[in-house]
Structure formats: C-alpha cells, structure tokens
Amino acid sequence: DSGVTQTPKHLITATGQRVTLRCSPRSGDLSVYWYQQSLDQGLQFLIQYYNGEERAKGNILERFSAQQFPDLHSELNLSSLELGDSALYFCASSIDTDTQYFGPGTRLTVL
C-alpha cells in the first residue's frame, strides 16, 4: 500500500458525459500527478499540481481539467467523454519533485 488513495476504483459511463476522479496523496506529500494508461498510448503524464498550484502540463486534452484543494487532495475532471478516453487513470504523489508513489488507479470505461 503506497498511501495514495483513489476513488472510485471503477467507473462506467456513456459518451458525452462528465466524470470526476478523486485522489488523496500520501500524508505530507505536496505534489500530485495524474497519468493515463491505455493500450495504445501506454503510460502518459497528464498534469502536476504542487501545493494547490498547477506546476506542469503534459498530454492533457482540453476536455480534461484538474485541481488541487487546500487539503491537498486532487480531482481530475473529464468531460465530453469519448470512447477513446477509456483507460486506467493513476494519481501519484511526492514530497516535492522526488520519488512518485502511485495509487491503485481508477478504471474508466466509456460506452
């Protein structure tokens, strides 16, 4: 157990819908990262937050957004969902820009 928690574990929704994925980092970690794992793209970095502020952006679609709250938990919002958004979404956390510890992931299925 890495200490990073993610909810929900599974999510099934329809195209065009909007979902929110939640992540709680390890105690004391200020950075939160989001990654997408799909069969065709592999593991891709989406976005990083540090102590409530966006710090780095990767291959994140405009339909996706994230935020980190004062209690340091983070949410990833996915809107106007498409079939191709079906993937495993991981959250990771680190103290600063150090070793990243991953949560168990949220499996999103878009029908």
Stretch touching another protein by CB under 8 A, among 15-23, 60-68, 72-80, 99-107: 99-107
Number of residues that bind another protein (CB under 8 A): 25
Contact positions with another protein (CB under 8 A) in 7-46: 31, 33, 35, 42-43, 45
Three-state SS sequence of the chain: CCCCEEECCEEEECCCCCEEEEEECCCCCCEEEEEEEECCCEEEEEEEEECCEEEEECCCCCCEEEEECCCCCEEEEECCCCHHHCEEEEEEEECCCCCCEECCCEEEEEC
Nearer to another protein, 33 or 64 (CB): 33
Position 74 contacts another protein (CB under 8 A): no
Q: Please, which residue, 14 or 42, has the CB nearer to another protein?
A: 42
